[in-house]
Amino acid sequence: MTLLGTYEDGDYRAEFGTLAVRGFWPAGVGGTGELRHLNLPLLAEDAFAAGARSDVARAGAGWVLGTAAAHAHVRLEAYDAAPGRDAAGWNDVLETPFLTSRGEIKLTHARGGDSPWNLKLARPGLHRLRVLRRRTSDGHRWLLQFWPVTGSPEAPRFLARSRPAVSTDRPGHGDKRFGPLAMDVLSVALWSPGRHTRAALAERLLATPEQIREALRYLTRRGMLRVGGADAGPASTIALVPERPRPPNAGAVTVAQPWRTAAR
């Protein structure tokens, strides 16, 4: 494992509470080989722009968006192989796939203002990204580590959370409190479409099977996901099929049916 390059900004100002790192992935380009099973248009940055935000971060084809304090210290690192998993001192740790067709990334802002410097990655294509975040006295400190991988993408996985996957201190918000976890579930479905169990999703996202059930209902109510198969309990297998939500003014709208489960 070799550190190929770094970029650091000790005075990053997060617009709209968003940390943004962008690479490049041309619109309309589909996947081949180990990426052929992915619906890459749904991994575009704007595919679910109206959805909730992850409590930590999500990534896709040419973008990473993190939930950040107004002021942050951000460090990007490029490796040729997976760096050691040393998460000591970090409150939140997430690993996720990331795609770039040019093999370089740039720290940007929510509205697109770029830093003047690109960080070159090991090569174009599929990477694994480790996102580490901790609270500081004046905001957040972030470390984003990128390294190339081969084969089918491994779905996102949380290694540490600084707070529960679902907030318990927001009375009156209804199912909206499941929104951040729901977007993490959606990320798993986007990068690894197909068959899962609620128990496996809960383990991957550091949540409970009951929280995963409510997150799935959140997604199906909003037309972001279809869930196939009968849920007879946390260990039963269900199919996850992501879908782009219908624009609100696109004519007659078919209301998505909430996913019904037998297990409680």
The Cα–Cα gap between 74 and 19 comes to 9
pLDDT at 258 over 50: no
Does 31 or 191 have the greater pLDDT score?
191
pLDDT at 252 over 70: no
User: Which candidate, 120, 6, 11, places its Cα nearest to that of 71?
Assistant: 11
pLDDT of residue 116: 65
What is the average pLDDT across 156-181? Answer: 85
pLDDT of residue 31: 65
pLDDT of residue 185: 97
pLDDT of residue 154: 95
Q: Which pTM was predicted?
A: 0.89
The Cα–Cα gap between 208 and 201 comes to 9
Does 123 or 251 have the greater pLDDT score?
123
pLDDT of residue 111: 77
What is the average pLDDT across 15-19? Answer: 92
- Percentage of the residues of the chain whose pLDDT score is greater than 70: 87
The answer to whether residues 121 and 78 touch, using CB atoms and an 8 Å cutoff, is: yes
- Percentage of the residues of the chain whose pLDDT score is greater than 90: 68
CA dihedral 204, 50, 45, 77 (to 10 degrees): -50
What is the average pLDDT across 79-105? Answer: 93
pLDDT of residue 134: 95
CB under 8 Å, gap of 24 or more: what pairs does 35-39 form? 35/99, 35/126, 35/152, 35/153, 37/152, 37/193, 37/194, 38/153, 38/190, 38/191, 38/193, 39/190, 39/193, 39/242
The Cα–Cα gap between 77 and 22 comes to 14
